[in-house]
Amino acid sequence: MIVRIMGEGQVALAESHLAELDKLDEELLVEMDDGDGPGFRRTLTALLNRVHELGEPLPDDALEPSDLILPSPDATIEEVRRLLSDDGDGLIPGPGDGPIPGT
């Protein structure tokens, strides 16, 4: 699957890593709900770092359709809220959430 990190580019990532990333995503949602700015920043950074560690960057000139779009590392809580789906799920689809958009 292809993950786009806004402002950075795209990363090819195996779907087998989604469960691990979803745990960080759930933490991020709690921190957003609690208004925990420092916790939000730590967890967003950890989530994006993990995507970089687990994935393979695509060349800058590659324009593949993205299966997931994640915020930039400097995104605010409000910017991330606008990226979230209306169903209450986070940035990463969790188990049982159905197919990943675009797949």
Average pLDDT along the chain, 103 residues, taken 10 residues at a time = 95 95 95 96 98 96 90 94 72 59 43
3-state secondary structure of 21: helix
Report the alpha-carbon angle 43-61-55, nearest 5. 35
For residue 49, the model assigns a pLDDT of 98
The domain locations on the chain are 2-83
pTM score, whole prediction: 0.84
Q: Which strands form 56-57's sheet, in the order they lie side by side? A: 56-57, 9-12, 2-5, 68-70
For residue 5, the model assigns a pLDDT of 96
Report the alpha-carbon angle 28-6-71, nearest 5. 15
How far apart (Å, rounded) are the C-alpha atoms in residues 12 and 1? 6
For residue 102, the model assigns a pLDDT of 44
